[in-house]
Amino acid sequence: MKQIVYVYILSFPFNYTFFCKQLIFHISYFAYFQVKTLALQFLIT
């Protein structure tokens, strides 16, 4: 894990936009999944 972070720091300007896009995508997908499961639980109970 530390090696991955180190590589990101070394190639920071190149990977910054890509990393931000990935991070935003993962966060939005996770939030959507959480909301979906919460809604399903709310509907079931």
User: 5 or 28: whose pLDDT is higher?
Assistant: 28
Q: How many CB atoms lie within 10 A of CB 19?
A: 13
3: confidence class by pLDDT, cuts 50, 70, 90:
confident
Distance (Å, whole) CA 28 – CA 40: 18
Mind listing the pLDDT tens digit for each residue in 13-41?
A: 666 777 778 888 988 999 999 999 988 88
Question: According to the model, what pLDDT value does residue 14 have?
Answer: 64
User: 10 or 14: whose pLDDT is higher?
Assistant: 10
Question: According to the model, what pLDDT value does residue 15 have?
Answer: 63
What residue numbers bound the domain in which 21 lies? Answer: 2-44
- Could you tell me how far CA 32 lies from the centroid of its own chain? 11
